[in-house]
Amino acid sequence: SDTHLGSKYCMREQMRDFVEHAYSLGIREILHPGDVLDGQYRHGMFELSHVGIDEQTRDLFETLPRLPGLRYRCITGNHDHTFNASSGIDVGAYVERYFRGHGRDDLTFHGLRSAFLRVGGAVVNLWHPRSAGAYASSYPLQKRVEKYAPGSKPQIMLAGHWHTHCYLF
């Protein structure tokens, strides 16, 4: 999550290396829980390497490796949503159209901030919350798990937004 394409601080080479390494291990689906693009927050305008949705989408297009059989499945996060908030554009649909218009059909957006996907027989919840962090990195995740309706818990939840690592079994 939180790749923030369009930011000066986006780790493009590391992202390419990760995708190529995962692909070499047999991975054919990359799941991305939001903030694919850096967006257009006023407080971050001097941290952009690519300004506007066109340029940030081009940055994404040029950064993500296109490999046979590999699919990217994403949701939008708060940074992506800044384009929607200011202009009403559906960022996921826009990025998908850009990719298709340039000959790629390997990237799909499944919703704003949350989506349930079936991946290899497992139900996965991609989630990009609005909340700030907490006293413990696991706390917001535990509260999310408690809120799932009985019988609707996914086998896997991937959460973006906080720029931290937390693994819960």
pTM more than 0.85: yes
pLDDT tens series, the chain, 169 aa? 999 999 999 999 999 999 999 999 999 999 999 999 999 999 999 999 999 999 999 999 999 999 999 999 999 999 999 999 889 999 999 999 999 999 999 999 999 999 999 999 999 999 999 877 767 888 888 999 999 998 889 999 999 999 888 888 8
Beta pairing partners, 115: 126
pLDDT attached to residue 75: 98
DSSP string, the chain: ----BTBTT--HHHHHHHHHHHHHTT--EEEEES--B----GGGGGGBSS-HHHHHHHHHHHHS---TT-EEEEEE-HHHHHHHHHH---HHHHHHHHHHHTT---EEEEEESEEEEEETTEEEEEE---S---SSTTHHHHHHHHHSPTT---SEEEE-SS-------
**4 near 38, Cβ under 8 Å?**
yes
